[in-house]
Chains A and B, each alone.
Chain A
Amino acid sequence: MGRYIPNTDQDRQDMLEKLGLHNIEQLYEDIPPEVRLKDSLSLPAPLSEMELVSHMRAVAAKNKIVDEYVCFLGAGAYDRYIPSVVKHVLARQEFYTSYTPYQPEISQGTLQAIFEYQTMICELTGMDVANASMYDGASALAEAVCMACQATGKGKVLVARSVHPQSREVIVTYGRFRGINVQEIGYDDGRVDMEELKQHMNRDIAAVVVQNPNFFGVIELLDQIAEVVHHFGGLLVISANPISLAVLKPPGHCGADIVVGEGQPLGNPLNFGGPYLGFMATTQKLMRRMPGRIVGQTVDLEGNRAFVLTLQTREQHIRREKATSNICSNEALNALAATVYLSVLGREGLKEVALLSMRKAHYAFERLISGAGCSPVFSTPFFDEFLVKVPTPVEELNKALLSCGIIGGYVVEKDYPELQGGWLVAVTEKRTREEIDALVREVSQR
């Protein structure tokens, strides 16, 4: 019998007999012959376990990987250190082979872990409540926009151009089909252009969307933005980098109404773009507008503290077309990775990761300017990623760097034609001084 099928020919015979049937074909009598497949599917011949592993290794070998190349590429996905513990917890079958915790009596492990995750996200963002995760940072941001429009009953949003280009694209896609009008607000010296914001802000705007640190790595002045947005009765939606939240003022303390972000840097490998996780948090006031699953605390019959999926009347399986969103499967295992990561790093460790990355990034910035002929693009403070203008054509530079073992920064002119020659460099805690010096050396030689 085929792979992963335990029943034998004899079992099949016995079971058919019990059904009063002679062959498997009879099970499919309800399918009209016109739609029955006449031939076998045309698929490659099945591989044995050994052959499969060889095949996958051979395909994997065609990739260049950050274990062997030094990575200065960020732009929304970061090559960060993942403590060994994370992988070992995730490998517990009770976590990774279980379903959504709809049966709380046998799902307390997942439920309590999510409750701990929600607490950590609230602590990092400074918000009241968090959900159990969204697909990724970009779709979480688009959902936040939809949520803001539902909550305010308005259909127009302002999105800072300094928000990740892919996130802006996802907002536009989600918005287009439900009639949400999306308008961009430019940047001035790398930060939201306050004048432009004031000019476009009015009472018809449901929300203003800002990323912090923004796509250029620059730290936004959230308090000032919040003041303008709230003055006109709009909601402030922030997309935050979770590592930065160890040291930066939490958006919740700056007046944010919804905070989302890409959770990949919290213990999740790069994985060519996924699975990652989107986190989402909001205020008590907007709690019942939030999409996605939420875990709450309660007690069982014997008075023991226990956890359960709650506020489910917001969700699709109860409310159908009136639900706050259609999301059901989320990124639970990635959220677990984030929870374990944040437990390992803890209060001091996460600050240390943030500080190490910032110091290394600032060192790289100084050295690229002083020793490699790069010039700064903005003068505003940045976190651990920054934009410089390089002296040579930027695509060629990256090509040359790749040939000497370096994955260079992100070429921003693809998304920002006005920033020709702009190179977005990310420096995480994994980069060493030696690697940064080598980068500077290679750039200076071009």
Chain B
Amino acid sequence: MKGRPLIFEMSKPGRKAYSLPHCDVPQLALEEMVPKECLREQDAMLPEVSEVDVIRHFTRLSRLNYGVDSGFYPLGSCTMKYNPKVNEDVASLPGFTQVHPLQPDEAVQGCLEILYRMDRLLSEITGMDRFSLQPAAGAHGEMTGLMIIKAYHQHRGDIRRNKIIVPDSAHGTNPASAAMVGFEVVEVKSNDRGEVDLEALKAAVDDTTAGLMLTNPNTLGLFEGNILEIADIVHKAGGLLYYDGANMNAILGIARPGDMGFDVVHLNLHKTFSTPHGGGGPGSGPVGVKKELEPYLPVPVVEFKDGVYHLDYDRPLSIGRVKSFYGNFSVILKAYAYIMSMGSEGLREVSEFAVLNANYLMERLKDHYQIPYNRRCMHEFVISAQRQKERGVSALDIAKRLMDFGFHPPTMYFPLIVKEALMIEPTETESKETLDAFADALIEIAQEVEDQPEKVKGAPHTTPVRRLDEAKAARNPVLRWKP
């Protein structure tokens, strides 16, 4: 088949890329240690390649990718900001990487200190009282936070509360996380300003409401101006308020979820706090709570007493563990380094420029694309390709065409309440020049849609592969290589 070779196709018996020391203990045969019936009959078909084969193969693969260091990456709700290099350096200090998670507390004081300080820093930034750093990603944080909410109601004997309210603009993880925790999902509609409809919310809450999950600013990039009323409605009904921190980059040092009435928050350290996405992970999704929910946090939590840090497992109301050990520690380290580099002024500037950049970009595009909610946005905004769709060109086509201009496309077809949506989040780490170049590209594409729509529909033209047959992949799944 045409295309690039897989590592398995480069394999040749007898080639090797490793070197291991000679065995310096008695060389027992495998069968002397393990009964034959427990042994493999045939080797695993791993490749046999040289070291230079491995390096060239993966270097070649890397060049087919597009990273934040390659260029502008305006993926809405993903906060693809620059990943500072010094943070990579400090997270790879052997003093952090070479520590076993089960060493005694006295031998890991440095690691525990980072976890403890991070809890304090994130609490201050969000206006919460206590954080658990255990969740490994945003969705994992959501699940953990919802477990805390459920445990809280259960402990109070309030066991009928089995519903979580989610706006129709919410991230797909919100309803999925609620289902993971055994909640029923109730969707509330947005109003024509793109915010939660207060009347619909009032109608949705009752004594079975466990809580409301909200992203603020929401996925349209709009601040929910009625947040205090929303909190009031939910709290009066006996529910709790959950903050999806995916869009926290808009309000650092400006406003805090804890001051808006939220009881539980999760943050995405791999978004707001600059840690790299790694091609899909690792992330980190710490969960913060208000005082009364503290007893329910996952075990263990780090405490500081008499000048010594220790892990506290004695928490009878805890929901338990959601993961082994203490979280994605090296991701937490990078985010810690980021906060320590920025300080409070620096973080506020992050949000100010994230918001300024988004508004500037929206302003530059508004005459060329439909802006479904034409009002001040926060750190991201949504445009619609409805107008272009009438000429037969979809949001997908426009996204693909952007690749030919050297840009990563925005998030497509989300939020679900906007047709032909393109969701654009520039972040603060981009210059005016970059924003202008991106706006110019989108404007040129809008012109192409008028003059030569086929060119846009056939895009991308310059990428390592052309458009893929995704239907074929799903219809006839080939999920592994076979010789």
Closest residue to B82 on the A side, CB-wise? A4
Chain A proximity of B482: nearest CB distance (Å): 8
B99-118 CB mask vs A (1 if < 8 Å, else 0) is 11111101111110110000
Please state if A287 and B477 are interface contacts (CB–CB under 8 Å). yes
Q: With A95-B278, A178-B181, A219-B38 given, is the CB distance from A67 to B98 under 8 Å?
A: yes
Please state if A98 and B344 are interface contacts (CB–CB under 8 Å). no
A412-441 CB mask vs B (1 if < 8 Å, else 0) is 000000000000000001001110100000
Can you show 14 pairs from A to B with CB atoms below 8 A apart? A6-B429, A7-B357, A37-B255, A63-B111, A97-B69, A108-B61, A115-B479, A249-B40, A270-B101, A312-B474, A343-B7, A353-B20, A381-B35, A429-B20
Contacts of B143 in A (CB 8 A): 326
**8 tightest Cβ-Cβ pairs between the two chains A and B:** A60-B95, A273-B325, A46-B343, A305-B3, A333-B278, A273-B101, A332-B280, A275-B282
Q: Taking A94-B70, A342-B47 as given, write out 18 further A-B residue pairs in contact, using a Cβ cutoff of 8 Å, ordered by the A residue number.
A: A12-B356, A47-B340, A62-B110, A77-B102, A103-B399, A108-B61, A108-B464, A129-B479, A129-B480, A170-B321, A173-B322, A178-B181, A272-B325, A274-B326, A331-B136, A334-B282, A336-B279, A346-B15
Please state if A398 and B104 are interface contacts (CB–CB under 8 Å). yes
Chain B proximity of A241: nearest CB distance (Å): 13
| Complex: A15 Cα to B363 Cα, angstroms | 10
Q: Which of A135-143, A193-201, A368-376 contacts B (4 or more CB under 8 A)?
A: A135-143
| Complex: A325 Cα to B337 Cα, angstroms | 32
Residue B203, interface by CB 8 Å: no
Closest residue to A312 on the B side, CB-wise? B474
| Complex: A304 Cα to B18 Cα, angstroms | 32
Residues of B51-106 at the interface with A, using a CB-CB cut-off of 8 Å, are 51, 54-55, 57-59, 61-70, 73, 75, 78, 80-84, 86, 89-90, 93-104, 106
A123-135 CB mask vs B (1 if < 8 Å, else 0) is 1100011101101
Main secondary structure of the interface of B (DSSP, over half): loop
Contacts of A179 in B (CB 8 A): 182
Residue B249, interface by CB 8 Å: no
| Complex: A129 Cα to B482 Cα, angstroms | 12
Q: With A2-B342, A49-B86 given, is the CB distance from A27 to B280 under 8 Å?
A: no
Q: With A43-B121, A221-B38, A346-B18 given, is the CB distance from A64 to B23 under 8 Å?
A: no
Q: With A100-B280, A300-B468 given, is the CB distance from A270 to B97 under 8 Å?
A: yes
Residue among B93, B259, B281, B360 making CB contact with A333, cutoff 8 Å? B281
Interface size on B, residues (CB 8 A): 198
Contacts of B82 in A (CB 8 A): 4
Please state if B47 and A346 are interface contacts (CB–CB under 8 Å). yes
Residues of B94-151 at the interface with A, using a CB-CB cut-off of 8 Å, are 94-104, 106-111, 113-114, 121, 124-125, 136-140, 142-143, 146-147, 150
Residue A285, interface by CB 8 Å: no
Please state if B65 and A294 are interface contacts (CB–CB under 8 Å). no
Closest residue to B181 on the A side, CB-wise? A177
A300-344 CB mask vs B (1 if < 8 Å, else 0) is 111111101011110111111111011111111110100110111
Residue A389, interface by CB 8 Å: no
Q: With A6-B430, A97-B69, A273-B327 given, is the CB distance from A35 to B228 under 8 Å?
A: yes
Residue B179, interface by CB 8 Å: yes
Contacts of A381 in B (CB 8 A): 33-35, 38
Q: With A176-B320, A274-B326 given, is the CB distance from A100 to B279 under 8 Å?
A: yes
A29-40 CB mask vs B (1 if < 8 Å, else 0) is 111101111001
Please state if A94 and B359 are interface contacts (CB–CB under 8 Å). no
Please state if A433 and B110 are interface contacts (CB–CB under 8 Å). no
| Complex: A220 Cα to B176 Cα, angstroms | 35
Contacts of A315 in B (CB 8 A): 172
Closest residue to B459 on the A side, CB-wise? A105
B314-337 CB mask vs A (1 if < 8 Å, else 0) is 000001111111111111010001
Please state if A321 and B18 are interface contacts (CB–CB under 8 Å). no
Please state if B340 and A123 are interface contacts (CB–CB under 8 Å). no
Residues of B444-483 at the interface with A, using a CB-CB cut-off of 8 Å, are 460, 463-470, 472-474, 477-481
Residue A298, interface by CB 8 Å: yes
